[in-house]
Structures are given as structure tokens and as C-alpha cells.
Amino acid sequence: MRTFTLLVSVGVTIVAMMHITPLVLAQSVKEAKARVEEKPDAPRLHYDLGLAYYESRQYVEAITSFQEAIKLKADYKEAYYDMGMAQQKTGKNSAAIKSFRRAIEYDEKYAEAHAALGSAYRTYSQYSVASRSYQAALKLKPERADWHLSLGIIYQTMEAYENAITAYEAYLKHTPNKDSKRAGQIRSLIPQLKEAIR
């Protein structure tokens, strides 16, 4: 089989979007803490504090707040998801995998959690499992260009070039910035992949 230059970095990290509303973005840690002190039994307030910590890059504190939210509301899927994101930021990928799985247990149609799980498995080079997670995410939200790109990179790493081509073509179809450097790299890479499977 022919070798070719890998134009797309295998280490590209595609971060799933967190569930942050403009209201939460405007909320400081100090304000969020004050609200928790007023109503310590309200899981949403602990969750909001976790988001405020996350936005301030205080990931350990964010994890603690998300855990508090879950103690008060066991099926708080968003808290599990965002806790997983914070755990990834602190290098706790195995914990993040557990958090993303819990989010999916509570909602099988939680596309962002499936994609985040794929990203976490990819960190461990568990490409088959990672690809299945991204496929599950894309069944729910096929318009997500960044997930198609991640899936293409995984397939390319696995030398499943036909699948990589399909994923990259889907990325090009859905990417909002068709003139970006990344899109240009993918357009150049597809013919090389096609040549490699001849």
C-alpha cells in the first residue's frame, strides 16, 4: 500500500461545545457562589457555579461543583457531561469516560456526550471504540463538521482509507468555512487517500 503525507494532524483535538447560556457566561464565580449559599439544595445553582469555574479555568473546582449538582440530582446529564469536559482538562481521561458514559445512560440521544466520549477514547488510541462513539453522535447531528473531521482522522489513523474519505467529504460538505486552511488540506488529502487504496 502506498504511503502518503499526513496533512491532518492526528493529534487535532476537537472540543465539544459546553452547554453555556449567555446568562451563565455573564455570571462570575463570586455571583454563582452567593447563589449557592442562598439555596444550597438547588442542583442547578451548583451546576451554574461549575460552569462559572470552568469558564475561569478553575477545573478542579468546577468538577467539585458538578459533583455537588449530581448529589442533589442523580440524573443530571449536563452535569455529568460538563464534569467530563473539566476532567479532560485536568488530564483525568478515564474519569471523563465514566462521566460521558453516565450522561449517555441518562440520555442516549445526547449527541455531544457521544462525541466527547469518542474524543476521550481517541486520547487512549482506542480508535475502534472512538469511531463508534463519533458515528453515534453523527447519527443524531449529521451537520457537525468537526465531528466528521475527527472521525476522518480516526479512520485515517486506522488505515481505513475509504471510510476516511467518506468522513472527510462529509466534513467538506458541512463545514461553514469552505475556504479555510483546514478545508484546503482535506481537499488535497482526499486524492492521496484515493490513490492509496488503488
How many structural domains does the chain have?
2
Q: What does the angle CA 57 – CA 101 – CA 77 come to, to the nearest 5 degrees?
A: 65
pLDDT in tens, 118-165: 999 999 999 999 999 999 999 999 999 999 999 999 999 999 999 999
Can you tell me the mean pLDDT for 182-192? 95
pLDDT of residue 198: 83
Predicted local distance difference test score (pLDDT) of residue 3: 47
Q: Which of 107, 122, 145 is the last residue of a domain?
A: 107
Q: Let me know: does 130 contact 118? Beta carbons within 8 Å.
A: yes
Q: Is residue 154 part of a domain?
A: yes
pLDDT in tens, 51-109: 999 999 999 999 999 999 999 999 999 999 999 999 999 999 999 999 999 999 999 99
In a domain, 117, yes or no: no
Closest CA to 84 of 93, 68, 76, 96: 96
DSSP 148: H
Residues 103 and 38 in one domain: yes
> pLDDT at position 119, please?
95
User: What is the CATH number for 56?
Assistant: 1.25.40.10
For the cut 50, the answer to whether the pLDDT of residue 24 exceeds it is no
Is 122 part of any domain? no
13, pLDDT greater than 70: no
pLDDT above 50 (res 22):
no
Give the cell for residue 151.
472521525
Residue 170 DSSP one-character state: H
In angstroms, what CA-CA distances link 128 with 60, 98, 121, 176? 30, 18, 9, 28
Count of CB atoms situated within 10 Å of the CB of 1:
8
Residue 14 has pLDDT above 70, yes or no: no
Q: Is 10 within the bounds of a domain?
A: no
Residues making up the chain, counted from first to last: 198
Contacts of residue 193, defined as CB under 8 A and 6 or more positions apart, other chains included, come to 4, 156, 161, 164, 165, 168
- Residue 129 confidence (pLDDT): 97
**Domain range holding 51?**
21-107
Which cell is 11 given?
Answer: 493529534
